[in-house]
Structure 1
Amino acid sequence: MSSDPFNDLDPDREVKVLPRHLAGPGPTDLQTAWPFPFDEDWSLHQPEKGPALATSPCLRLWTGLVPEPDSPGKGKWTIAANRVPFAAPTWQITFDATTPIELLHDVHTELLDLYLEDRHSDRDRLFEDDTAPQEAYTPLLARGWSHQIKTNGTQFFRAPDGLGGVRHRYAITGTGTPTWTAWAGYPSEPSWRAHFSFGAPSTLVAAFTASLISTEPVRRTVNDMPFHTRRNLYVAAATTAKQTPMSSPVAAPPAGTVPGRTR
């Protein structure tokens, strides 16, 4: 097992790190997670404390954050869509509040793109998405994730470091079981989990997996990184510090490029 590259750094030292799935949640910032045009037609409900909620003008789409500081996941981010305003959700996506904020941003950015595309065309991709599932998992294979197929209609993809996974139920028959599930950390005590219900657009899953394996580093302070997995992080660059620059060699991230969507 590699040594911890952060032992000698000030806890407030900010660095750029990879891989994203082990970097920790980062700041819980609604403006980062939700790239919606609130100055135009989207609504934001944000009390001083407690849950926050964003809704589309058509009221068929909403996304929210419910903080639970005392729970292992620290709360829940939820995206839901319904065909009729105020009806039960047609599909739903949930993330632990400990999920890296960059993953949330990229999924919500794709969500807004889908919404605008539907709004200005005769398509309804929020409910009838035609993106093939392999667009979500092929990038994982290109980045060296392992692949295992079960006879029960489930396939698993695991990160090269063994500390991340994606499960796809490709033969799902009931709407009560998530079609896609992702997690990071040790399986017995994951740092975060994400669930995409039956009917959730594969386009959003593809945006999630592309962000998950992105080689663009994320900024974190040493104190923000999950301690039990941080020795598996690669230091891309130091950005700010309260002490002298790092004297130890800087590790390079794994080689390779990431296929992804062009915005």
Structure 2
Amino acid sequence: MLPDPLPDPFKDLDPAQTVRVLPRHLAGPGQADLETIWPFPFDDGWHLHRAIQGMVFASSPCARLWTGFAPEPEKRGQGTWTIGMGRVPFGPRAWEITFDATTPAELLRDIHAELLDLYLEDFNSDQDHLFEDVTTPHEVYMPLLTHGWSHSVKRDGTRTFLPPEGHGGVRHRYAITGADSPIWRAWGGYLSEPHWRARFSAGVPTTLAAAFTASLISTDPVHRVVKEIPFHTRRHLYVARAAATQPPSYPQPALPPATHAAGRTH
């Protein structure tokens, strides 16, 4: 006999109702505006660039670090957020991180905040954390294990971590074979048809991957409009507290403000 299906926690709520939910990886994209996601001090040397078809880029004063958003509403991921770092100004990328536009906004915000922290640490010292990171891989995945995620290892040089409900995951390629595939990979929803995907290339500071998983398993609920929560996994979400009804907000990038304060995520 098949087990009874989980109840839908949103069944009796207005579709326009705003709720606070967990876990983050199943919550949907939320309000993905640049004012929230990019903490960069644009009044202190950082540059904002606009391109055609809604593309937006930000670059550091040294022109070695950049991040951007390219909308592709006709595709499943609805676009791509990309972080890139080069060893020389305007040079080729030494490493890259990409996220689907459907990635929860809180995860994007936290990794960009950590990115800015690393950049400022390097700028104000003789360190080079953006290329010579000392964070170890276990700092990325140990928080997952302590929050009930499972762990499996394959002979192909990968280890996979799955959340308790099984709808999402983090994969680490611990054996470097020269293959041009991500060192870290994460997704939300079913692996065969994920709601969102994230990829960290070889060379990405492990500190950034650790910031990402720390945000992923954060117990701080996120705000979502009921109608925007992914349907196929909504029965695995926990409603922390219902808030007042308000108009839905869609992930349309907007201009960042003049300045933001930086802060670590862990």
Please indicate, yes or no, whether the TM-score normalized by the shorter chain is above 0.5.
Answer: yes
Displacement of 1:30 after TM fit?
A: 0.6
Name the amino acid aligned to 2:221.
Answer: P
Cross-structure match for 2:162? 158
Give the TM-score of the pair, scaled to structure 1.
0.90
Task: Point out which structure has higher relative CO (alpha carbons under 8 A, 6+ apart).
Answer: 2
2:233 pairs, out of 208, 211, 229, with 229
Mapped to 2, the partners of 1:88 and 1:54 lie a distance apart of: 16
Is 1:204 matched with 2:205? no
Cross-structure match for 2:103? 99
| Aligned 1:17-166 pairs, distance under 5 A | 17-46=21-50, 49-166=53-170
- Alpha-carbon deviations, 1:213-242, whole Å to 9, x = none? 000000000011111111111000111126
4+ residue segments displaced more than 3 Å: 46-49
Cross-structure match for 2:260? none
Kept after mapping to 1: 8 A contact 2:110/2:265: no
Cross-structure match for 1:177? 181
Mapped to 1, the partners of 2:185 and 2:140 lie a distance apart of: 12
Question: What secondary structure sits across from 1:231 in the alignment?
Answer: helix
Mapped to 1, the partners of 2:93 and 2:110 lie a distance apart of: 22
Unaligned residue ranges in structure 2 (runs of 5+): 247-263
2:219 pairs, out of 215, 219, 229, with 215
Name the amino acid aligned to 2:99.
Answer: F
Mapped to 2, the partners of 1:93 and 1:174 lie a distance apart of: 18
Mapped to 1, the partners of 2:159 and 2:144 lie a distance apart of: 13
Kept after mapping to 1: 8 A contact 2:20/2:243: yes
1:6 pairs, out of 10, 33, 42, with 10
Name the amino acid aligned to 1:220.
Answer: R
Deviation larger for 74-83 or 35-44: 35-44
Unaligned residue ranges in structure 1 (runs of 5+): 243-260
Compared with structure 1, are the counterparts of its residues 223 and 47 closer, same or farther at alpha carbon in structure 2 (3 Å cutoff)?
farther
Displacement of 1:153 after TM fit?
A: 1.4
Displacement of 1:67 after TM fit?
A: 0.4
- Alpha-carbon deviations, 1:180-231, whole Å to 9, x = none? 0000101221000000000000000000000000000000000111111111
Deviation larger for 92-101 or 181-190: 181-190
Displacement of 1:28 after TM fit?
A: 2.3
Compared with structure 1, are the counterparts of its residues 107 and 175 closer, same or farther at alpha carbon in structure 2 (3 Å cutoff)?
farther
Kept after mapping to 2: 8 A contact 1:175/1:197: no
Kept after mapping to 1: 8 A contact 2:211/2:265: no
Question: What secondary structure sits across from 1:90 in the alignment?
Answer: strand
Kept after mapping to 1: 8 A contact 2:19/2:240: yes
Cross-structure match for 1:188? 192
CA RMSD of aligned residues (A): 1.4
Is 1:168 matched with 2:172? yes
- Alpha-carbon deviations, 1:32-74, whole Å to 9, x = none? 1111111221111236951110000000000000000010000
Name the amino acid aligned to 2:13.
Answer: L
Mapped to 2, the partners of 1:198 and 1:177 lie a distance apart of: 8
Mapped to 2, the partners of 1:60 and 1:200 lie a distance apart of: 14
Give the TM-score of the pair, scaled to structure 2.
0.89
Name the amino acid aligned to 1:59.
Answer: A
Kept after mapping to 2: 8 A contact 1:175/1:198: no
Name the amino acid aligned to 1:30.
Answer: L
